[in-house]
Structure 1
Amino acid sequence: MTTPPGWYPEPGLTPPYPPRERWWDGHGWTAQTRQATGTPPAPGGGRSGRGPLIGLVAGIAGAVVLAAALALGSVLLLGGDPDKGGTSEAGPGAPSEAPEGEGPGEGDESTPPRDDEPPSKVPEVARDPLLGVGLTAPAGWERASDSHAAVSSEKAYECPASHKEECVRGGGVLQATNGAWSDRETLKKLTEAQVAENAETSYPKKSYGGITGHEVVESGAVTVAGEQGYRVRWRVANKLKPDAYVEAVVFRSPESSERTLALLSSVDIAEDAPGVSVLDELRKGVVGTGDGEDEGPRESV
């Protein structure tokens, strides 16, 4: 029996993160979430359709690896126990059956209350409490972490060079970066170094066969969250398709003029991928959250 639509606890969240629920539409997990209201455990072993990403983020220590994992290429380990034949046919980590009497509507002839219907779509903002900034998720994207300013597209596919990994169509992450500048030329060089690193970490050889070339398609000054910055965008050619656009934007933090931040983002060039304009949308979606950095130091890259 297929699990009916409804709100289920968000798997993968452990203290100190507050409990949260995600909407299951009857076929897959959506990007819609809300504060937990005490619903029963999610069926199907408590894993979400984006469980591989949640699990990956949960195991990340530091911003260096986060950037490598979540900037565009976003390579995700496939869920499932290899000794048990992998994931369910219902989709990656999707619940296949609801335990008797526990699923919404099971044993209850009444329809779910109106407040259990999916809310109208509102932009999600992935916040980083240490950096004091957030990254707004475009339509069709979701937060990739509850503790970092990272987002990824909901669309996933098997990585071209690996049958054991999943990749997503696009992603972005905000992180602190070492480097200071007093003139535009220095800022440009900092950004060029960031975009080169972004390309390698977003489209690694093990997943895309290696980058065979690139061309600079955008380079110049931009404004990010009211601060002056610099953007460099590449179009990269991969040995195994798809090719992609990768971008780096370096700017001063809107919360601290002494801190340098980098927005690393990228998107596949494919029919079912977002258009390249989504990179501009990500940049325009950087917001100051007013949070401090009292929770301790974090490694910069």
Structure 2
Amino acid sequence: MSSSPPPGWYSDPSFPLTERWWDGTAWTDHRRQPEQPVQPVFQPQPPPGRGAGRTKVVALAVVGAVLVAGAVTGGVLLLGKDGDGGQETRTATTSPTSDADGNDSPSPTKPATASPTGDPSVVVDDLNGITFPIPDGWEDGDRSGEEDAVLVTDGTFDCPGEGGVCRGGVVVSRTVTGSDETSPKTLAENDIEDAANDAFDRDVLDRQPYDGITGHEVVGSGSVAVAGRAGYYVRWRVTTGAGPGGYVQSLVFPSGRGSEAPVLVRFAVDAGDDGPPVGDIDEIVEGIRPVGDAGGDGDTGGGVGSSLGPS
């Protein structure tokens, strides 16, 4: 005659690396990460003095598996030392999983950053579902250290003002959040001053690489088709206390994905010899495509004066 195990935490038969509460008659929905290896409910313990060696091996294996599972679930993989002698980390992306009752649980996703594809001529913004062309003199901005950069000009130079190094051009792509405003025109007009300050006023160390902004002139604004969507842009010519100044542009258009949240693309280019031609801004805008149409076969490009898609 067999008896049911007493209530307690036991190894989950569906997920052996977790513990599940047994109420004495049935499993409940309560689970936890074990603090130490546990035995399944219906697995008898070996008699004293027998099987001790095998029990130890199994316990060590379970602990190792828990550590590996914890590292992947947490989303960070330690990869040894980086080039500066520090610990390099990388975000891991996992697929959706199902629990014992068949319910899907969400999985970690990569932050909104650009990622390369098999096509060396474009950079992909996976979150917003668009690709950016890479003009001559530009490169993928993913490893540049510039926040949310999708494109940067290759190489750096000494900033003309308060220390540091500067780049001739930077393009960043972001999703507009924290606001109920959806009008591309309003969002672009509200963003352009922040775009100018971020690019030519103070950096993250509160230095002024260009000795601050002394003035600006609106050199362009209007409706624009981007990836088949109706957007709006504002462009300023900025003058600075040191150096030749530059150009900034705020471009906003609805995403073609999900809730169609507004996408904000900022451009900043140095106006001197260290910067790219200002026409590169237009080239990049005209070359933005939905993911899957990187070659432009779907005729979903853009540019000022192009036919506007759905708003």
Letter in 2 for 1:203: F
* Rounded Cα–Cα distance in structure 2 between residues aligned with 1:123 and 1:141: 12
- Percent identity over the alignment is 34
Letter in 1 for 2:242: L
Conserved? CA contact 1:263–1:283, under 8 Å: no
- CA shift, 1:223, in A, is 0.5
Q: Whose Rg is larger?
A: 2
The residue aligned with 1:38 is none
Q: Identify which of 249, 252, 255 aligns with 1:250.
A: 252
Q: Aligned pair 1:200/2:200, yes or no?
A: no
Conserved? CA contact 1:135–1:149, under 8 Å: no
The residue aligned with 2:224 is 222
Larger RCO (alpha carbons 8 Å, 6+ apart): 1
Could you tell me the TM-score, scaled by structure 1's length?
Answer: 0.52
Q: Aligned pair 1:240/2:242, yes or no?
A: yes
Deviations 1:82-108 (A, max 9, x none): xxxxxxxxxxxxxxxxxxxxxxxxxxx
Unaligned runs of 5+ in 2: 1-75, 92-109, 114-118, 203-207, 293-311
Q: Secondary structure at the match of 2:157?
A: strand
* Rounded Cα–Cα distance in structure 2 between residues aligned with 1:154 and 1:252: 29
Deviations 1:223-253 (A, max 9, x none): 0011000010000111111210100110001
Conserved? CA contact 1:255–1:288, under 8 Å: no
The residue aligned with 1:168 is 167
The residue aligned with 2:128 is 131
Letter in 1 for 2:167: V
Cα distance 1:266–1:123, how it changes in 2: closer, same or farther (>3 A)?
Answer: farther
The residue aligned with 2:155 is 155
Unaligned runs of 5+ in 1: 1-14, 17-44, 48-54, 67-121, 291-301
* Rounded Cα–Cα distance in structure 2 between residues aligned with 1:180 and 1:221: 21
Q: Identify which of 186, 189, 194 aligns with 2:186.
A: 189
* Rounded Cα–Cα distance in structure 2 between residues aligned with 1:289 and 1:220: 25
* Rounded Cα–Cα distance in structure 1 between residues aligned with 2:123 and 2:148: 7
Letter in 2 for 1:135: F
* Rounded Cα–Cα distance in structure 1 between residues aligned with 2:131 and 2:148: 8
